[in-house]
Structure 1
Amino acid sequence: MKTDPEALSLAISSRFEAPPQRVWRIWADPRQLERWWGPPTYPATVVEHDLAPGGSVTYFMTGPEGDRHYGWWRVRAVDVPHRLEFEDGFADDEGRPNLDMPTTIVRVRLTAEDESATVMTIESTFPSSEAMEQMVSMGMVEGMSEALGQIDALLAGAPA
């Protein structure tokens, strides 16, 4: 994890034993996205999934007590299988953006390390230092680390 308070960004990189095309599918396939987006105790359910520029993704995470937390993405750029950029925000239970919560810009890069390995870097940029502090205090770093920790098993168990 690398934080850059001056650039208002937080980045995390992980290495996976799979080529970029395979790692891309964990983003492109909503059923695979559900298996890792969010910590293990807050599994995601993807409602809408359109990764084309201008498209959107809507989802909710269900907590251990059955509580639901809604989110949305607005896709800004796609370069299959190397790059994805989207706005990421919280939503109400109708899927409408919650304007009281920060919106971040997320940039995903998939870089081939060799023929069978990929480094995935996820960088989040915040609108202000206050928004960055708020998200970090809400457990964003721990949640993302736990979410990424689920990908190796997904890549090993899902068809290539």
Structure 2
Amino acid sequence: MSDLPVFTITRLFAVDRDTMYDAWADPRRMVQWSGPKGSTVEILSGEVSEGHTVHSKTVSPDMPPMYTLAKWITLSRPERVVWEQSFADEYGKKTVPEFFDAWPETLLTEVDFTEEEGGTRVTLSWTPIEATPEALTEFEKQMAGMKGGWGGSFDELEAFLAG
């Protein structure tokens, strides 16, 4: 796995680790900040617990609905959450999103919460775990865009945490 591309982003938030953990692991909180700016996220089925899969729908004003799957692997309060993330159709079947010719079928999402002076550092990593060579190439090409996308989500998270 060491030759796989890995996307990583990190940011310090001015909250304690328990508050940050809850923002990621409590679905009522996560839907309030996740997704692109201006979007709404709805959980269609499943639950956030180890071994379970959540099927969700994201609606944005400027794009068609987007569906995702999150199979929860690790929920370790207050330091870490891990899930396998995939794009899906409205029925919960894994798909490649229409806006890419190739994309990894599944990404391992690892989020670590580290207590630091001034708050909690969030470090998120995405690693393709089911991908063709073409999908890996596309994943690497999209890393700058992922920085912007996750940066926007982190902005939303910061605003949510500020109340």
Q: Tell me the TM-score normalised to structure 1 length.
A: 0.83
Indicate yes or no: 2:151 matched with 1:149.
Answer: no
1:107 match? 110
| SS of alignment partner, residue 44 of structure 1 | strand
1:137 match? 142
| Structure 1: stretches of 5+ with no match in the other structure | none
2:6/2:127 contact within 8 Å kept: yes
Indicate yes or no: 2:34 matched with 1:29.
Answer: no
Give the alignment partner of residue 58 of structure 2, picking from 43, 61, 69.
Answer: 61
| SS of alignment partner, residue 18 of structure 2 | helix
Q: Which residues of 2 match residues 11-90 of structure 1 at below 5 A?
A: 11-48=8-45, 50-65=47-62, 67-90=64-87
CA shift, 1:17, in A, is 0.4
Q: Give me the whole-angstrom Cα distance separating, in 1, the residues matched to 2:40 and 2:134.
A: 27
| SS of alignment partner, residue 35 of structure 1 | helix
Q: Give me the whole-angstrom Cα distance separating, in 1, the residues matched to 2:120 and 2:62.
A: 36
Identity in percent = 26
Q: List per-residue Cα deviations over 1:22-78 (Å, max 9, x = no partner).
A: 001111222221122111143322223523210122211112146211001111122
| Structure 2: stretches of 5+ with no match in the other structure | 97-101
CA shift, 1:101, in A, is 4.6
1:31/1:46 contact within 8 Å kept: no
Which sits farther off after the overlay, 105-114 or 130-139? 130-139
Q: Tell me the TM-score normalised to structure 2 length.
A: 0.81
Structural RMSD (CA): 2.3
